[in-house]
Amino acid sequence: MADEFKALAVELSQAAASSGVRSLAVLPFAPSDESPAQEGLSIADRLLTQIVRGGKVLAVERSMLRRVLEEHHLAQTGIADAGLIKKIGEIVPVGAVITGSFGNSMEETVIEARLIDVKSGIILAAAERKVERKPSGLQGSKLDAADGKGFLWVPAPQLTVAAPDIQEERSDANPAPGDRSCANAAERIDALEARILDVKARYWAGQLKKGVSLAGLTVNPGSEITDPDLKKNFYARIQHWYNADRTPKLTPSEISRFVRFDREAFILYKECRG
C-alpha cells in the first residue's frame, strides 16, 4: 500500500521539478462517490509524507494553510477550486499544489491526482494509482457486515445495503431484563438488541469518529446478534451514522436504556453461548 503512495509521490515530484516548481502544497482529495471526505485528508497526508521523504521538492505542512482551508470548507468537501488554489499561492510561497479525487470499491481505492500551477491554474501533470483497501497495524481486519467477525476497520467500505430507516424498534413481545436462564437465549438476545439497535449504532459511530480503536476488544460490537437481517441492519446503521455530518449524542434516558439492555444481552451471550 505504501509503495503505491511512494510511486505517486515520485511521479508528481519529478513532474514538479521538471516544471521548475521548487515547493508545493498537498490539498485534501475529494470523494468522487459517497465515501467520507475525511478519507481525502488521509490520502493527502500519506502522499505528503512520501513527497517529503523523496526530497525532490519542498512541501509545506497543511497547518500553514489551515485558515484558508477552513474558509473554503475543504476539510468537509475536499473540493479545491481555482480561486482557492490561487489564494494559496498568495498566502504561502509555493509554485504548485497537488489535489485530486478518489473513489472506493470493496477491493481498492482509485486515486486521481493533479499537479496544478498556482498562478496560471494549468495542470502540469496528472497521475492515477489504485490502492488495495487492506487494513493494517492495530486497526485489525475489516468488519464483515454479514457475520461481524474480526475487528471494525475505519474507514470501512460502503455496505451494500439500503440506508436504514432510522426509527425506534418497539414490540410488546420484547423481553425485559431479568431472566437469566438460557432458554431461547439467542432469540432473547436479539430481542433485547433490537430495542436499542439505533442507540447502540449511534454510540459506536460516535466512538469511531473520536478515533477510538476497537482492536483491543475481545468481542466485536454486534457479535452477540444472531439474526442475519438484524445484524446487517446494525452494521448498516453504524455506517450510516459514521458517514453522517452529525451524529446525535445519546440523551440521558437513551444512555440508561442502552446500558440496561446491552448489559443484559451481553450477560446472556457470555453465559449461554456455549
Q: Which of 73-77, 184-188, 204-208, 260-264 is predicted least confidently?
A: 73-77
Q: What pLDDT score was predicted for residue 178? A: 52
pLDDT by residue (tens digit) across 212-269?
766 556 667 888 888 888 888 888 888 888 888 778 888 888 888 888 888 888 888 8
Name the pTM for this structure: 0.48
**Sequence-ordered strand ranges (E) for the chain:** 23-26, 30-31, 58-59, 96-104, 108-117, 123-132
Q: Give the pLDDT of residue 11.
A: 95
The values of phi and psi at residue 138, to 5°, are -75, -10
> From CA 253, how far away is CA 256, in angstroms rounded?
5
Whole-number Å distance between alpha carbons of 97 and 116: 5
Note whether 200 and 168 are within 8 A (CB).
no
Per the prediction, the chain carries an average pLDDT of 75
* CA distances for 271 relative to 148, 181, 196, 264, 274, angstroms: 20, 9, 21, 11, 7
Whether the Cβ atoms of residue 227 and residue 236 lie closer than 8 Å to each other: no
Give the tens place of pLDDT for each residue, 115-124.
999 888 899 9
pLDDT in tens, 117-170: 988 889 999 999 998 875 433 233 333 333 333 333 333 333 333 444 444 444
In this structure, the dihedral spanned by the alpha carbons of residues 74, 80, 81 and 82, taken in order and rounded to 10 degrees, is: 120
The percent of residues in the chain predicted with pLDDT above 70, rounded, is 73
What mean pLDDT comes out for the span 89-104? 86
Of 109-113, 158-162, 208-212, the range with the lowest mean pLDDT is: 158-162
Q: Torsions phi, psi of 111, nearest 5?
A: -110, 125
Which residues, in sequence order, are bridge partners of residue 100?
113
Cβ neighbours for 26, distance < 8 A, ≥ 6 positions apart: 44, 45, 47, 48, 51, 59, 62, 97, 98, 99
The neighbouring-strand residues paired with 58 are 23
Contact predicate 194/200, CB 8 Å: no
Q: Residue 185: CB partners within 8 Å, gap ≥ 6?
A: 268, 269, 272, 273
